[in-house]
Amino acid sequence: MGRNGASSHAGNHNHADAKFAAAIKIFEVAARYFQKQNFEKAGELFEKLAEGEVPEVAAQARVHLRLCEQRTGRPRLAAKTSEDFYALGVGALNLHQLDEAFEYLKKADKLQPKREHVQYALAATQALRGNVEAALGWLQTAIALRPQNRIQARHDEDFRGLAADPRFRVLVYPQPAPVY
């Protein structure tokens, strides 16, 4: 306890905030390298962030690091965790490598089942592959786990091929319950 009974946790928060702010600045620099297609330099920075102490930034850095790896053909980190496989899957999905994306995402789901963002990515992958039944199944699970996915799916280009399907419409535009 500090003076007047105040906790010294404020110092910890300031330190955490400073780390977060520094990580964001590095991420922004890496993103600029990425946009300029300097994937080597971007990859170096994303790798540093992926192994860093700021989990929110590390997760996004891993996704971008995988994209850099795919562009350079040189893996920097071995996939071990569900998040690693998810990042690889999203990277492959963004490159429209749908079979590869599906395999990575299935591994992510196997390591940690029923995570809404993995379910959603699996649904998007299946929608782009033209596998309507599987896409609707994964999407239904993603929505059950996180209802906001319903709104995201309404505007997601990956689901454009399902837009006319009545089952998709019922899933993302549910009827309100009657009020008695």
- Is 4 or 76 the better-scoring residue by pLDDT? 76
pTM beyond cutoff 0.95: no
Q: Is the pLDDT of residue 43 over 70?
A: yes
**48-to-14, 44, 102 alpha-carbon distances in Å:** 22, 6, 27
- Of the chain, the percentage scoring pLDDT greater than 70 comes to 88
Lowest-confidence pick of 57-71, 72-86, 92-106: 72-86
Handedness of CA 80, 19, 48, 92 (dihedral sign): positive
Q: What integer pLDDT is reported at residue 87 of this predicted model?
A: 82
67 phi and psi angles, rounded to 5 deg = -65, -40
Find the helix or strand (DSSP H, E) in which 62 lies: helix 55-72
| Confidence band, pLDDT 50/70/90 cuts, at residue 4 | very low
Q: What integer pLDDT is reported at residue 159 of this predicted model?
A: 96
Across the range 145-150, mean pLDDT stands at 94
| Confidence band, pLDDT 50/70/90 cuts, at residue 67 | confident
pLDDT averaged over the chain?
Answer: 85
Q: Are 128 and 161 in contact (CB under 8 A)?
A: yes
